[in-house]
Amino acid sequence: MIDIFNNFYKGKRVLVTGHTGFKGSWLSIWLHELGAEVVGVGLEPYSEKDNFVLSGIGQKIKADIRADIRDGEKMKQIFNEYQPEIVFHLAAQPLVRLSYEIPVETYQTNVMGTINIMEAIRATQSVKVGVMITTDKCYDNKEQMTGYKENDPFGGYDPYSSSKGACEIAIQSWRRSFFNPEDYGKKHHVSLASVRAGNVIGGGDWSKDRIIPDCIRALEAGKPIEIRSPKAVRPWEHVLEPLSGYMLLAQKMWENPTEYCEGWNFGPEQESVLNVWDVATAMVENFGFGELKDVSDPNALHEANLLMLDITKAKTRLGWKPRLDAKRCAVLTSSWYKRYKNEDVYDICIDEINEFLK
Ligand SMILES: NC(=O)c1ccc[n+]([C@@H]2O[C@H](COP(=O)([O-])OP(=O)(O)OC[C@H]3O[C@@H](n4cnc5c(N)ncnc54)[C@H](O)[C@@H]3O)[C@@H](O)[C@H]2O)c1
């Protein structure tokens, strides 16, 4: 595999929370291929068709641990046992609609879970870099036509978005109080950043109420794809885009711990900011069959209509930029779902990472 990180991850001890999930499984596969010793911490995968299960990555990494991030003592124990050097914290309750049903659990997992991970980092001398994954929805959404910048105010209407806004405030507080760059090398040895991606799509996601899994379920069942919010605009990006950003950022933080410990947006270029209807149409085109049905409901639960990220900072200071345009993103996403029934899913993922890096 092409190594855009110049051998940086080879032999590094990397702990990934949420490795059984969509983004975490891809990140674990990529890190494992680069030679990192990956320790994963998460709950049971949601289904037998998840990328985590089908790829078999759980059997390849150093440790595949089932543990709840709400259990702070357990997190400290795991960190103490495996002595990670780099932590990517992705574990979360990540669904807006579900957060209306289980707001308390959403806050417990997202906010207290994140604090437990930061406390485990604080208690473990080996950790040098912590990359905390929040979301583009952490910003106070004003439904504006311009992208949010990293220093825009946090907020969130629904419990999921606001829990991630609250995470950002907690991360900022822990950085000021315990991992302050001014005290680096004197009181601590940790560089802590938070990262905000857009709406991530790619193979192996079967979550409820997300557009790509909804499309695939309908296409596989030979039913029309029901679109709840056809006009909602989101910054769509392939899963490998933000992951490449998180990994590049961690490398930069390792090499220069006080320079990059801040918030970062990893979204798509402006042209990939499409509405839900356009994204579903691209999937139908790639599959060569299927139809869309508008099922908008004026009484539906509130979800943001317009959301964009400004990625100037990551481009100029990290030298990161999205690799795929909207069309290639849809092609790569469809490809996993077209192939997963007949081919080795680990190999599909490696092919797609190579394709992405070309
Ligand atoms: N998918 C997206 O479009 C998107 C966009 C922006 C941000 N994010 C963020 O990226 C991260 C990963 O999202 P995803 O789409 O892969 O979600 P996912 O639901 O596929 O995976 C979530 C992971 O978190 C784990 N988890 C959940 N609750 C846990 C708990 N209490 N203890 C331990 N582990 C727990 C699950 O087991 C799973 O491994 C989340 O933090 C999410 O908020 C996702």
Q: What is the mean pLDDT of each run of 10 residues along the chain (358 residues)?
A: 95 98 98 98 96 98 98 98 98 96 98 98 98 96 89 96 98 98 98 95 92 95 94 90 98 98 94 88 94 88 78 97 91 95 97 95
What's the confidence (pLDDT) of residue 345? 98
**CB of residue 133 inside a 6 A radius of ligand 1:** yes
**CB of residue 93 inside a 6 A radius of ligand 1:** yes
Q: Report the separation in Å between the CA atom of 70 and the middle of ligand 1, taken as the mean of its atom positions.
A: 14
Q: Report the separation in Å between the CA atom of 256 and the middle of ligand 1, taken as the mean of its atom positions.
A: 28
Helices (H) and strands (E) in the chain, counts: 14, 12
Tell which atom from ligand 1 comes closest to the C-alpha of 46: 37
What's the confidence (pLDDT) of residue 293? 95
Topology classification of domain 13-200+237-268+306-328? Rossmann fold (3.40.50)
Helices 276-287 and 326-339: crossing angle, nearest 10°? Answer: 50
**CB of residue 200 inside a 6 A radius of ligand 1:** yes
Tell which atom from ligand 1 comes closest to the C-alpha of 210: 3
Predicted TM-score of the model (pTM): 0.96
Cα-based angle 278, 156, 154 (whole degrees, multiple of 5)? 110
Residue nearest to atom 22 of ligand 1 (CA): 21
Cα-based angle 112, 113, 115 (whole degrees, multiple of 5)? 60
What's the confidence (pLDDT) of residue 305? 66
Q: Report the separation in Å between the CA atom of 21 and the middle of ligand 1, taken as the mean of its atom positions.
A: 6
Helix, strand and coil content of the chain, in percent to the nearest 5, comes to 45, 15, 40
Residues 303 and 232: beta-carbon distance below 8 Å:
yes
Mutation pick for ligand 1 pocket among 15, 17, 19, 23 (CB with most ligand atoms within 8 Å): 23
**CB of residue 351 inside a 6 A radius of ligand 1:** no
Domain residue extents for the chain: 13-200+237-268+306-328
Q: Report the separation in Å between the CA atom of 218 and the middle of ligand 1, taken as the mean of its atom positions.
A: 23
Tell which atom from ligand 1 comes closest to the C-alpha of 164: 43
Tell which atom from ligand 1 comes closest to the C-alpha of 42: 34
Q: Report the separation in Å between the CA atom of 182 and the middle of ligand 1, taken as the mean of its atom positions.
A: 32
Q: Return the sign of the alpha-carbon dihedral for residues 265, 270, 272, 275.
A: positive
**CB of residue 111 inside a 6 A radius of ligand 1:** no
Tell which atom from ligand 1 comes closest to the C-alpha of 70: 31
